Structure 1
Amino acid sequence: MMEIRTPKTGKAKRVLEQRAPKQVETGKKTLILHGTKTSATVSSVLMELYQLKKGGAIKYSRRNENIRPFESGGETSLEFFSLKTDCSIFAYGSHSKKRPHNLLLGRMYDHHVYDLIEVGIENFKSLLSFSYDKKLAPHEGSKPFICFTGEGFDHVQELKQLKEVLTDLFRGEVVDNLNLTGLDRAYICSAISPTKVFLTHCAIKLKKSGTIVPRIELVEVGPSMDLVVRRNRLPNDGVRKEAMKTSKDKPKKKLKNVHNSAVGGQSGNIYVPDQKVGETKLPDKSKGLKRERRERKLKKEEEGSASKKLKESE
């Protein structure tokens, strides 16, 4: 029988509340892991991927021998790390004679493997191999453009899955409003063939265009690489259906006496109660009445002083 552990401290309760499902989810964190053997290319890719995702990624440098997600029972360690770090996306690098310079990307649902796609890395160029003005370097936490070009992303199942994984990997938090200056990077993904995708990272340079909208120039800042699709595993239909569920919003309160007009606006009926104007007392603020009261008061004071003088003379 499974033991149910309840939080005993305030910190543990807050951690569980942060991991609980939310109406609007926060950005997905990325878990970066090394395999039993990794080449210099794979290590560089994982390190630069961590730099691009800095602030939203957790990287372990220790080598892991028991992670084999495509084999039965080989995802146990991966799910343990996902639960420990609360990461829903992972990147696992390895190198072997059969699959050189191998990169495994995948997503988790409820800390269980949701889907997997394995790619090989070719023609890798690191960040240090590009020369550009360092003022153009993207800032940490900025939002990127993600551009997918090529018919393969619409017709090839493996490239469709790769597009979804890369979008979740690079997009960061979902926001409603965005400042134009916060868009300082772009990821360009081009489908060269049904099994190969060219990925590059560019900085966005805004220039004057004579209008309100600036002219955009792309400056390649790296890294860049070719991703060759090798193996993939799609999610189970039941798991996919469960993951796609969305919570229903509370129904909006119906507004009374409000109608939609023919031009797309809204019109309403306003009911004004009886004001009972005849029974309303008007404020006594007329200047004429004030003058009369003032004159009456002065007259009384004069009559009082005259009567006082008369009594004193007698």
Structure 2
Amino acid sequence: MLKIKTPKTHRGKRVLEKRAPKLVENEKKTLILHGTKTSNVLNSLLTEIYHLKKENSVKYTRRNDNIRPFEAGGETNLEFFSQKTDCALFVFGSHSKKRPDNLVIGRFYDHHVYDLVEVGVENFRSLQSFSYDKKVAPKMGTKPLIAFVGEGFESVDELKHLKEVLIDLLRGEVIENLNLAGVDRCYICTAVSPKKVFLSHCALKLKKSGTIVPRMELVEVGPSMDLVLRRHRLPNEGLRKEAMKTAPDHTKKKLKNVKGDPLLGKTGKVYIPDQKLGEMALPNKAKGVKRERREARNNKDPNKQASKKPKGEGST
């Protein structure tokens, strides 16, 4: 295995920070490998998968004798390559008399094999075998659409697992907003039977429809193939729970004394402190305050008011 080293340069430190776990992970890279023996079909298929995912894939052309994903101890080299290249997916092609044109697709978790799906490739057609207008050819790095046709993807366990793996392999970068002008290709997966899936790659051609939303036409650009299910291995329940953990969302602050009601909607409580009106200072003095004070003083001493002479009377 690789030796763990501390970074000695700023560039090495940036590489380790890029590979460190994040709340929002980067796009998954794909590792493409060859087995001890491969056929011309597999060589062409692995090359075209690399071209479709060129920005986020690593391809090794050497033969690997010791990689056997479904056998105990045969996945050590796979985990070594995953740690070396920081890849979360792998595609492994091998050819034998028992399993001709064999393709193994798997995922890693913490640089260890998470799950595996083994399929056989039949009726393969490469990119060069399709003739179409090159103007509608998909561009590199665009976001593809993925369509799964058939009830088997919801009812058959093997097809459910294959669907999860194909979504991770083909979807590209996870985004929040999508520009319609940038949608130029689509992967169509059709469940022909519980053990067979037809996969095709089409370009989207936008045409006028008389409305704001254009009309789309599919133009098959390849590659296309039939995938025959052979073996698959699911992760154990403990590993699945650990891989599905998500960080708590601390962005939203909890509002105190606020609750939701199905009839009233959002309701809340407002607490008002005791108001001591006697101690409150008046903003200004009213004109009637002096008169009130004089009347209050006269009520306390009535004799003083009577001793005063009425205005306008003379002395006797």
1:62 aligns with 62
Tell me, in whole angstroms, the C-alpha distance in 1 between the residues paired with 2:66 and 2:45: 21
Tell me, in whole angstroms, the C-alpha distance in 2 between the residues paired with 1:4 and 1:187: 40
- Matched residue type, 1:124: F
1:197 aligns with 197
Tell me, in whole angstroms, the C-alpha distance in 2 between the residues paired with 1:266 and 1:32: 56
- Matched residue type, 2:252: K
TM-score (norm 1): 0.81
* Deviation at residue 247 of structure 1 after TM alignment: 0.5
- Matched residue type, 1:108: F
Q: Cα 1:243–1:260, aligned 2, differ >3 Å: closer, same or farther? A: closer
1:79 aligns with 79
Q: Cα 1:234–1:136, aligned 2, differ >3 Å: closer, same or farther? A: same
Secondary structure, aligned partner of 1:55: helix
* Deviation at residue 251 of structure 1 after TM alignment: 4.9
1:33-182 equivalences in 2 (<5 Å)? 33-182=33-182
* Deviation at residue 256 of structure 1 after TM alignment: 8.0
Tell me, in whole angstroms, the C-alpha distance in 2 between the residues paired with 1:155 and 1:147: 17
Tell me, in whole angstroms, the C-alpha distance in 1 between the residues paired with 2:258 and 2:134: 56
Tell me, in whole angstroms, the C-alpha distance in 1 between the residues paired with 2:264 and 2:126: 56
C-alpha root-mean-square deviation of aligned residues, in Å?
2.5
- Matched residue type, 2:52: L
CA deviations over 1:193-234 (Å, ceiling 9, x no partner): 110000000000111100111111100000000000001111
Tell me, in whole angstroms, the C-alpha distance in 2 between the residues paired with 1:169 and 1:210: 36
Q: Cα 1:5–1:54, aligned 2, differ >3 Å: closer, same or farther? A: closer
Tell me, in whole angstroms, the C-alpha distance in 1 between the residues paired with 2:172 and 2:166: 11
* Deviation at residue 165 of structure 1 after TM alignment: 0.5
* Deviation at residue 252 of structure 1 after TM alignment: 1.9
1:269-284 equivalences in 2 (<5 Å)? none
TM-score (norm 2): 0.80
1:26 aligns with 26
Tell me, in whole angstroms, the C-alpha distance in 1 between the residues paired with 2:3 and 2:150: 51
* Deviation at residue 3 of structure 1 after TM alignment: 7.6
Tell me, in whole angstroms, the C-alpha distance in 2 between the residues paired with 1:114 and 1:253: 35
Secondary structure, aligned partner of 1:36: coil
Tell me, in whole angstroms, the C-alpha distance in 2 between the residues paired with 1:244 and 1:132: 42
Secondary structure, aligned partner of 1:143: coil
- Matched residue type, 1:139: K
Tell me, in whole angstroms, the C-alpha distance in 1 between the residues paired with 2:253 and 2:32: 46
* Deviation at residue 5 of structure 1 after TM alignment: 3.4
* Deviation at residue 23 of structure 1 after TM alignment: 1.0
- Matched residue type, 1:193: S
* Deviation at residue 92 of structure 1 after TM alignment: 0.3
CA deviations over 1:226-272 (Å, ceiling 9, x no partner): 000001111111110100000011152356899989898999x9xxx
* Deviation at residue 170 of structure 1 after TM alignment: 0.5
**Which of these two proteins has the greater Rg computed from alpha carbons?**
2
CA contact (8 A) 2:258 2:266 kept: no
* Deviation at residue 148 of structure 1 after TM alignment: 0.4
Q: Cα 1:4–1:205, aligned 2, differ >3 Å: closer, same or farther? A: closer
* Deviation at residue 151 of structure 1 after TM alignment: 1.0
- Matched residue type, 2:188: I
Deviates more, 1:149-158 or 1:193-202: 149-158
Secondary structure, aligned partner of 2:55: coil
Identity value in percent: 69
Tell me, in whole angstroms, the C-alpha distance in 2 between the residues paired with 1:3 and 1:45: 34
1:295 aligns with none
* Deviation at residue 7 of structure 1 after TM alignment: 2.2
5+ long unaligned stretches in structure 1: 270-275, 279-314
Deviates more, 1:256-265 or 1:227-236: 256-265
Tell me, in whole angstroms, the C-alpha distance in 2 between the residues paired with 1:6 and 1:16: 9
CA deviations over 1:247-302 (Å, ceiling 9, x no partner): 011152356899989898999x9xxxxxx999xxxxxxxxxxxxxxxxxxxxxxxx
Secondary structure, aligned partner of 2:190: strand
Q: Cα 1:258–1:230, aligned 2, differ >3 Å: closer, same or farther? A: closer
CA contact (8 A) 2:149 2:191 kept: yes
CA deviations over 1:112-141 (Å, ceiling 9, x no partner): 000001000000011011000001110000
Secondary structure, aligned partner of 1:222: strand
2:211 aligns with 211
